[in-house]
Amino acid sequence: MTSPTATELERQLENLLRLDYPALMGSTESDLRTAVGHLAGLLPNEQSEVDPEDHIPFVLVPNAPLRESALLMTKDDRPATLMIEDAELGEYAPIAGVTIPDAPLYLLTDIDTGTEFTNVTPESALGTVTGRGRTPLTIAEGIAVVTQRPDMLRKNKCFSLLGSRRGGQKVPAIWISQRAPKLGWCWDRNPHTWLGSASAGARVVRR
């Protein structure tokens, strides 16, 4: 009998294929299927302490251009929009302490969309997240979450992506605008009642 996690992994793979991610990645369908197959034995099965309403067990994160992949996000069939210019988007990089696997594809596990951090500044949320031994999400990881689980981008429960910065006080975030996903930014020291901070337990790749 196929396990629920294996079924979900296959669903996420088929979703990436439907969106033509192999072309975005400069790869092929066969290569993507092989990469996902290598991750199948690494699927999480442990219990999580994350609030069940905010929990996603895992998401496939492909190495793909940010702008193109962001524009593939949808919610209720409504396409995403961006409020970050291309040149600026390319300047975002992982913050210190966040290491992205050198692989075309990896698993982000034990994800928390971070509703508890609504009305908490990103600056304060980051300290709490890292103090728990968790890792903040990057822009690419936030895009991957919404691509695979648009249902988890909810009214008044959207999320900042504390793992990507370009210097200064701008923190990237994904929220709902005109009932569709929007990738933009907010200030590091400004709390928002509708914007939490997402985190994960680990990044997993075949060694």
The structure tokens listed for 131 are 């103090």
Question: Could you read off the pLDDT of 110-144 as tens digits, one per residue?
Answer: 999 999 999 999 999 999 999 999 999 999 999 99
Is residue 10 within 8 A of residue 39, CB to CB? The reply is no
Most distant CA pair in the chain, distance: 51
Digitized pLDDT (tens) for each residue of the chain, 207 residues in all: 578 899 999 999 999 999 999 999 999 999 999 999 999 999 888 789 999 999 999 999 999 999 999 999 999 999 999 999 999 999 999 999 999 999 999 999 999 999 999 999 999 999 999 999 999 999 999 999 999 999 999 999 999 999 999 999 999 999 999 999 999 999 999 999 999 999 999 999 987
- Residue 174, beta-bridge partner list: 159, 183
Give whole-number Cα distances, 24 to 7, 45, 64, 88, 206, in Å.
24, 30, 6, 20, 22
User: What is the C-alpha to C-alpha distance for residues 107 and 62, in angstroms, rounded to an integer?
Assistant: 9
Task: Kindly report the pTM of this predicted structure.
Answer: 0.97
The structure tokens listed for 93 are 């990089």
Q: At what angle do helices 29-39 and 4-18 cross, to 10 degrees?
A: 160
User: What is the C-alpha to C-alpha distance for residues 2 and 174, in angstroms, rounded to an integer?
Assistant: 33
Measured in whole angstroms, how far is the alpha carbon of residue 140 from the centre of its chain? 6
Give whole-number Cα distances, 133 to 64, 102, 126, 129, 138, in Å.
27, 21, 11, 7, 16
**DSSP string over 53-105:** GGEEEEEEEE---HHHHHTT-EETTEEPEE-S-HHHHTT-EEPTT----SSSE
Residue 202 buriedness (CB in 10 A; 0-12 / 13-18 / 19+): middle
**Residue labelled with tokens 């409020």:** 83
Say which amino acid occupies 127: G
Helices (H), the chain: 4-18, 21-24, 29-39, 66-70, 86-89, 122-131, 139-148
